[in-house]
Amino acid sequence: MVGSSRTIFHMCGRPDVVRMIDDPAYVIDDEIVAVPIGCFPVSFLLSRYQDEGIFPWDHVPGLESGAVKKCSIPASVTETVAAQELKALYPFSRPVTSGETIKVVRVQHNRNFNKFEKDVTARFADGLLQRKDTLFRGLTLLALEKCLAFFLPVIRSTNADNEFGPGIYTTGDLATAKDYAGRAGAIMVFSTPDERPLNCWEPTGDEWRRLTARWLGLSLSDTDLSPAYYEADVIKGAMSADQSKGQRQNRFLTPGNIKQQAFVSYRGCESLRRELKAIIFIESSK
């Protein structure tokens, strides 16, 4: 879904957010946004705005207001790809090896994905972004900083977008990762981990439908999960093409054309973290 954020909130029945967008006293503006397939538009956008510090969290009675953490691209990151020490970029990160370095680059946001892709791909002379075994994860700058400190999924009680259950989600589709990163986020770039020591499960057909229905919370019968689910370190499969419609109609989802890999165990997450090769920082054009 691509469109005006104001229109999306209006269509999804959130007049309170529409009023905030229209009110000059708020910093939230109307903008053209891309919502990845397999996401609820409202929860996806609100989660991003909350991470970016431009939308308030739910008020907790008795809690005094205070400073809001503002994340920014590390100053040492330039428009040229360079290997930098992770601890120098994020002092509170936990490197997997002593003196761990990764490639980093700063890229200007572009609404035209084809131009963005051409720009960022050309900067990696080693062809990293074009390899078949490359995986991407788009996220906000705040989420990036947190996961470098402890590489586990940040689970929110309001998050209903994880179709295979809690885990760290990646995709081989750069466009989808950029949608998750937004106009001022980051894209983590991984090589696919060695799967030989991992339990990988790729549900299809009824298994895929039952799994996504279970984690979407649909009140459908016969949603028992395959025994393979409980042993999996990695779950591979299609992203849904119609999650919001499936929820409204209380029916099984339809698999889309874009594939995703969810790392759903400690062992799976650890194996993925060791394959972090680069971080693409997206700089807002505003």
- Tens digit of each residue's pLDDT (9 = 90 or more) over 180-225: 998 899 999 999 999 999 999 999 999 999 898 888 877 765 667 8
pLDDT band at 98 (very low <50, low <70, confident <90, very high): very high
pLDDT number for residue 53:
67
Whether residue 62 is contained in a domain is answered as no
Quote the mean pLDDT of the chain.
86
Pair 44, 101 in one domain: no
Tally of domains within the chain: 2
8 Å CB contact between 104 and 81: yes
Amino acid at 113: F
Pair 279, 241 in one domain: yes
Whether residue 58 is contained in a domain is answered as no
Task: Give the pLDDT mean for 120-127.
Answer: 96
pLDDT number for residue 135:
98
Pair 46, 114 in one domain: no
pLDDT number for residue 118:
96
Q: Estimate to the nearest angstrom the gap between the alpha carbon of 110 and the chain centroid.
A: 18
Pair 99, 26 in one domain: no
Query: Up-side HSE of residue 182: CA atoms within 13 Å toward CB?
Result: 20
Task: Burial-class residue 253 by CB neighbours within 10 Å (0-12, 13-18, 19+).
Answer: buried
Round to whole Å and give the CA distance between 123 and 80: 7
Query: Up-side HSE of residue 201: CA atoms within 13 Å toward CB?
Result: 20
Pair 12, 133 in one domain: no
Whether residue 208 is contained in a domain is answered as yes
Q: Residue 63 pLDDT more than 50? A: no
Pair 180, 86 in one domain: yes
Pair 6, 33 in one domain: yes
Whether residue 164 is contained in a domain is answered as yes
Whether residue 63 is contained in a domain is answered as no
Task: Give the pLDDT mean for 236-242.
Answer: 90
Pair 44, 166 in one domain: no
Q: What is the percent of the chain where pLDDT is above 70?
A: 87
Pair 144, 221 in one domain: yes
Whether residue 191 is contained in a domain is answered as yes
Query: Would you say the pTM of this structure is higher than 0.75?
Result: yes
Whether residue 247 is contained in a domain is answered as yes
Pair 228, 156 in one domain: yes
Whether residue 119 is contained in a domain is answered as yes
Task: Give the pLDDT mean for 29-51.
Answer: 76
**Residues 6 or more apart in contact with residue 199 via CB below 8 angstroms:** 228, 231, 232, 233, 234, 265
Domain containing residue 152: 68-286
